[in-house]
A and B are shown apart, each in its own frame.
Chain A
Amino acid sequence: MRAKTLQDLLKKGDRIAVSNITGREAQKVSVISQGYCGNIVAGWALGKDGQKITVGGPNNIPVFGQFEDMMNNLPKSKKPNKIIVYSPPDAVYGDVKEVVRFGKGIVETIYVITEHVAIEVTAKLKTLCNEANIDIVGCNTLGIINAHDGVRIGAVGGDSPSESFIPGSVTIISNSGNMVNTISSYLQSNGLGISFGISTGKDALILTQLKDLLPLVEKDEKTKIVVLYIEPGGTYEKEAIEWMKKKKFSKPVITFIAGSFAEGIDVSLGHAGAVVEGKDTSASAKMAMFDDYFSIEPFDPAKPEKAEKAIAKAKKGVRVNTLHALVPAATALLRALNISRDFKPKRPLSLNPWIVGLGPKANNLPRNLILYQGIIPPPYDELVQKQIKSGLGRTVSKQNMRNASHASSNDGSIPRIYGYSLMNLMEEASFARATLLYWIGEKPTHNFEVELFEMCLIASLTNGPGTISAIGAKVSASAGNEANTAMMTTLGSMGLTHGGNGKKAAKLLIDRFSGTDMKNPYSKKDAPDLDAMVKDHVNNFRKLKAHAKDAGVDYEKIPCLGHPVFNKDAINYDPREREVTKYLENHKRYNVFLDYYHRLTKELMNQGATSKAHAVNVDAAISCVCMGIAWPFLVDKKITVERAIDLPLITFALGRVSGGAGEYLDHRESGSGMDMRVPVSECKSLTRSKD
């Protein structure tokens, strides 16, 4: 080994370079690592020269085409001394050879993450690296973490390394990468943190093995205890034990050896190397070897005091038979050898169910099997509350949608929208109904909803030629564009201020109503206590407004109240909203959201938050109609909250783009080219000439 200490394997200040960095896994892990410790200086991937892996700020990772280019172009202070190999199996040999050739004298350690590297290649890698005095870890390692320095290489610690790896006095050496994380989490129940977590990999040949690592552990002052996770295969442990005996290894060890269940049956375990080759390599042989080294019986969780006495006497450590017995075994070891904890123990290891739905049969189960929801730790508690308990909206997962769609299909003869034949929809002859199906994924529940939706589309058609979306269409016509371009210009002239305010209203309504049990938005009986809700809403708004004014900063206004035209009276109305209200009244229908908005304007005035009752504008009306349609689907978790929030904006956009087409047709026929141009004489320059 080139490394003389564990720090030599990884420390703060080490500079990491990543092979095949643009690959799916390499890129994802590199971004997380960069957020955790920012130690990656560059990466390389054939044909990807000049790209950057975006992390944010100064930590973006430059990508080079080849290792040699990278070494030639990086300044001396950034030349990497540690390499992670994420190359595909067939490329590993070539990449390591390149590292050895062009990184000799600079590169100290290579970590090969790649799985399925041929054993012949693995043996060649070892020879190559030995000759170049470079240490190589793997293949199929997950990497290493130095918790005291807060740095890692590879994916040890997953997406939140600081959560599992609190600095402390244990070094974990594991054949399984995942077990490094798991064991570290377990030990937090003992108040034990981590010095180093090392995944050796478990291919048939382990290139940096236990007997190489233990001498480094012996010298690591921060390591007081060693925990080993071992699988069958290889003579690595035999040789390590011989070394420990010979050198009188001073640090206590707790060992878990997996895989005894596979003995006698033809099962290959999860790792390639976990193949039993002969005596000394089986799980039971390794257990016997460690028991002999420890000179005590394996830990019995029922008799911790007995184990404590035995450990105190032999002073070498103990083997556990189940992984969760690590925790009581570590407690016994701490007591026996008078080793202090690193921090106050975290929650004891026990069953802590997050979600329980055992149903009526649970009553007949033995008491120890009837579980109740435990305490969900942060940050998961809020997420569970939001995504599972709140009960509103569907949670969907991401998948590759390149050639896939839930929304439409075509079997070669029948185009469908969410499974409904387009021809049948044509027979129904309602564009509004078909559009709602396309947007929601289900047909609207009531006919009056379709009519209200159509009214919203009509309301969105125009608010006169001066609105910026209409001007957009006219400018496009004036420039000589085709109709489709003019329609796009109409859409492009819309935004969160013009047309998008309805989206904010939808979000507000969902936020306010998501805590209620309301199922039917069209039933006054089912409505929550709206007066109390608006009082609370306005009260909070008033406080927010007052604080903002005191601080001299802007504040978030309540969306969709007020209108630049309809704002002169003590109580104001937007006539388009009135049409929606009139329809509801005429058809003896109720919409809880519109009611809420009307009460809100009044309460704002009552509490002196505004000087007059603002108009509930057309954007609010559209939002209330859309939320009425969407609400039952949200309650039934058939659509996402995000989809519901988008509905008012796309409704407005659909109506207004038709209006834009109308403006285009008129302007193209009657206007002259470039007539929307503003003459130079009417333009003001706000900058002085500088040359």
Chain B
Amino acid sequence: MSLKIGELTFLEQLASRFGIPTPDHLVEPVPQSKLQEKLKKWGSGIVKPDVLSGKRGKAGTIRKVDNAQDAIKTLKNVAASEVSDQQPRTAYVVQTVPADYEIFTAITYNSSLLGPSLTISLKGGMDIESVDEKDKVTIPVDVFQGLNAYQASEALSRLGMEGKLNSRLSLVFVKLWDMFTSTGMMSCEVNPWRVTKNGEIYACDFKATFDESNRKTSDSGIDWPEYPTKETQFESEMKSWSASSHQGQAHVSMLGGQRILPMLFGGGASTITVETLSQVGGEPIFLSDFGGNPPYQRMKGTASICFDNFLHTCSLLLILGGKANNTLIDVTFSAIADALQECVDDKGPVDIPVVIGRGGAHLVQGFAALKKTLDNCSLPYVIFGPDTPITLVAEYAANLAISYEKLKKGAAK
């Protein structure tokens, strides 16, 4: 699980705390007089949306302004314009920094080095993946000792940068590391650092991802920005329910489908099930993982949220997992059965088939509990044991859902 921030949070909350040089900035809404005063000092400014957009997605919305009236109009426009399908939280204007050099840096945990690493390129300002390998350097950072200025300096030398600027940048990179390691970041990227003719260094764009499992993240004191999302009520409900306990998992990621309501168990099993459903037209509503041996109340709560939102609109309910390692099937299935019964009692009967596949401890008791409820609710069902491959069950479920839809449409006509 991870938290992300963009440049504005960095400017407002982190840069000064760690002594990282940044250009001056103002955040919308801002009085015209203030803007006038700043633009007079800066010469011009750059208006940017505060949005978490991947890659260089927000590049198209960045505007240069040099007078207060334009700036106010642009700030309002940019704040209101979606970037890569996302609504910005706000817009802000930063001082334009004329640059001789643009430098890229990223600190991240590197799967090849199995530890943190620093990547530097003197071809900053562009997408790092498009920079030639010979123009970037990655050095490992000792996770206990951290980055020292000598290491950073040597990396810059390998790229051909020597002299005073090398020393100045090295010191700034050490500050960047200090911020990275003090706040529980998983990765942070400054792209670019702009260096003026006078050798002044400014971090001119920033993004970072934090590790929610790291206590430093919660202790960092950062006031986490809330970005507008297109989250449905279901997603926010599940998000807060998922966060409310560590007992058992309650993860869902929406996939955009409407046909199959998949209640899946186990990280690997849920991935391959959704993969199969997607391949054969099952159009799963979401990717879910409800494994991790949830206690009864936890599982019932999870199931209730899913049923309240989708049971009466989907075409098939799929309850599927591999052979559980730890999860007690009677507990999870009884909870699902009780949630199902309550949903039908509250919202009226449904006419959808239910396909079930599972293995694990207390399996038959679990099947018995579900069967009883399915019989009570007059829902058609097929139950598979662990000897049927889950991908075959998923394929069957997708075909059954499609056929049932056709039957229903035929009956309606």
Contact = CB atoms under 8 A, between A and B. Distances in A.
Interface string B44-64: 000000000000000000000
Given A179-B268, A270-B289, A258 B275 contact: yes
Contact of A365 (B213, B268, B400): B400
Given A260-B275, A324-B391, A239 B112 contact: yes
Contacts of B143: 120, 123-124, 127
Contact of A384 (B214, B246, B274, B364): B364
Q: Which of A261, A347, A377 has the most CB of B within 10 A?
A: A261
A159 B386 CA distance: 13
A567 to B, nearest CB: 44
Contacts of B362: 397
B324 interface: yes
Nearest to B269: A178
Contacts of A675: none
Nearest to A143: B325
Interface in A214-233: 229, 231, 233
A484 interface: no
Interface residues of B, number: 93
A116 to B, nearest CB: 4
Contacts of A395: 330, 365, 368-369, 372
A30 to B, nearest CB: 12
A553 interface: no
A279 interface: yes
A351 B268 contact: no
Q: Which of B108, B109, B184 has the most CB of A within 10 A?
A: B109
Given A120-B143, A347-B387, A397 B331 contact: yes
Contacts of B184: 118, 120
A362 B404 CA distance: 9
Interface in B76-112: 108-109, 111-112
B287 interface: yes
Contacts of A275: 2
Interface in A76-110: 89-90
Interface string A324-367: 10000000000000000000000101111111111101101110
A324 B389 contact: yes
A123 B114 contact: yes
Q: Which of B271, B287, B331 has the most CB of A within 10 A?
A: B271
A512 interface: no
Interface stretch (B31-39, B147-155, B251-259): B251-259
Contacts of B1: 116, 272
B243 interface: no
Contacts of B144: 124, 127
A358 B380 contact: yes
B382 A270 contact: no
A267 B253 contact: yes
A174 B269 CA distance: 12
A261 B274 contact: yes
B267 A123 contact: no
Nearest to B353: A358
B129 A278 contact: yes
Given A233-B111, A270-B289, A323-B391, A380 B269 contact: no
Interface string B369-385: 10110110010111111
Interface in A122-144: 123-124, 126-127, 142
A158 interface: yes
A351 B384 contact: yes
Interface in A308-332: 321-324
A236 interface: yes
Interface string A385-405: 001100000111111100000
Contacts of B396: 351, 369, 371
A358 B381 contact: yes
B211 interface: yes
A207 B366 CA distance: 37
Contacts of B216: 118, 120
A261 B278 contact: yes
Interface in A247-286: 256, 258-262, 265-275, 277-279, 281
B3 interface: no
B170 interface: no
Contacts of B366: 397
A653 to B, nearest CB: 29
Contacts of B367: 354-355, 384, 388
B181 interface: yes
A128 B381 CA distance: 53
A186 B390 CA distance: 10
A28 B366 CA distance: 19
Nearest to A273: B111
A158 B325 contact: yes
B293 A380 contact: no
A48 B391 CA distance: 44
Interface of B: 1-2, 108-109, 111-112, 114-116, 129, 142-144, 181, 184, 186, 211, 213-216, 246, 251, 253, 255-256, 266-272, 274-276, 278-279, 287, 289, 291, 293, 295-297, 321-326, 328, 330-331, 333-334, 353, 359-369, 371-372, 374-375, 378, 380-393, 396, 399-400, 403-404, 407
Given A178-B266, A181-B325, 17 more contacts: A127-B142, A155-B326, A176-B267, A176-B269, A186-B389, A205-B111, A269-B271, A273-B111, A277-B111, A322-B279, A354-B367, A357-B382, A377-B387, A380-B363, A395-B330, A395-B369, A397-B296
What 6 A-B pairs are tightest by C-beta distance, nearest first?
A: A176-B268, A270-B267, A397-B334, A118-B214, A234-B111, A399-B296
13 contacts: A123-B143, A179-B322, A259-B271, A265-B256, A268-B253, A351-B384, A351-B396, A357-B380, A358-B382, A369-B399, A380-B364, A380-B385, A399-B331
